[in-house]
Amino acid sequence: MLSCGNCGLSVTAEKKVKHQKNGNVHEYIYYRCTKKRKDFRCLEPAITQNKLANQLASLLADYAMPTAWASKLETMLAKDEQKASEASKDFIANAEARIASLQSKLQRLLDGYLDQDIDQQTYRAKQAKLMSEKKSLEEKVSKLTLASNSWIEPMRNWISFASSISKIAISCEPVAMKQALLQIEGLNLFLSNKKARLKPRAFSYSPQKNHWSALRAALFSAAARPSEKLKSPILVPREGFEPPT
């Protein structure tokens, strides 16, 4: 899960047993560089599991969404969900009425053709036109049915996960912390001078930064202005000429 900041190889765990003269036995787990590079003598020092776990917990805490923010976001999400489903409901109802009317036109057209009121060429041309409009409407309806709520569940899961991070950090439980860091940063961690650090993200031109970086930045700026604690910049952008960050 970690790479060595000094030589770039993986960091591995090692168990050490200490026998004291009084008969007590102590077990320690260290994390250290594998030091397998032949062309480089890596001097990165080892770190104990406890120290590493505490550092990971503090890295995680930078992404812990406060419950007040989470409940505010959940309320906003529920409103958006309702709006989206109302908007798509109207569109779908109109489209379905239009599809039914196209279907009955097609039927009348077929009847006219069978009664030999219209010739084959006219029948085929009109049928193709009606069919194509019907098909495109049907496609729109099925896309909208799928898409209108497709972002709601992932967003809801994200809020719930982000607000559970502080509990994970407090528990200091290695497996839970590893899984959380994997979801947040893809385990882009390295060990340097006995400190677990995050690899800087690749530079991006996109103004839509990763949602985790946005949350982290929001937490930092909220901490810098405690009086505005509940006005998270991820909820409400600040006014001004600059684009919201």
Contact range with Zn ion by CB under 5 A, out of 33-41, 107-115, 147-155, 166-174? 33-41
Of the residues 6, 148, 163, 232, which one makes contact with Zn ion according to CB under 5 A: 6
Q: How far is the CB of 4 from Zn ion (least distance, A)?
A: 3
- Of 150 and 193, which has the nearer Cβ to Zn ion? 193
Tokens of 234: 């991820």
Burial (Cβ within 10 Å: 0-12, 13-18, ≥19) of residue 2: buried
Six-digit token pair at 97?
């009425």
* Choice from 1, 4, 141, 215 touching Zn ion (CB under 5 A): 4
Amino acid at the residue 89:
K
> Interface with Zn ion includes 44 (CB under 5 A)?
yes
**Residue 99's CB: how many other CB atoms inside 10 A?**
15
- CB-wise, 7 or 61, nearer to Zn ion? 7
Q: Alpha-carbon distance 177 to 29, whole Å?
A: 17
Task: Name the residue among 6, 9, 1 with its Cα closest to residue 44.
Answer: 6
In the complex with Zn ion, the residue whose CB is nearer, 55 or 88, is 55
The helix or strand, by DSSP H or E, that contains position 165, with its residue range, turns out to be helix 152-171
Question: 73 to 102, contacts with Zn ion by CB under 5 A?
Answer: none
- 2 interacts with Zn ion by CB under 5 A: no
CA neighbor of 137 nearest in space, from 106, 103, 104, 86 = 103
Choose between 101 and 193: whose C-beta lies nearer to Zn ion: 193
Does 46 bind Zn ion (CB under 5 A)? Our answer is no
Binding site for Zn ion (CB under 5 A): 4, 6-7, 33, 42, 44
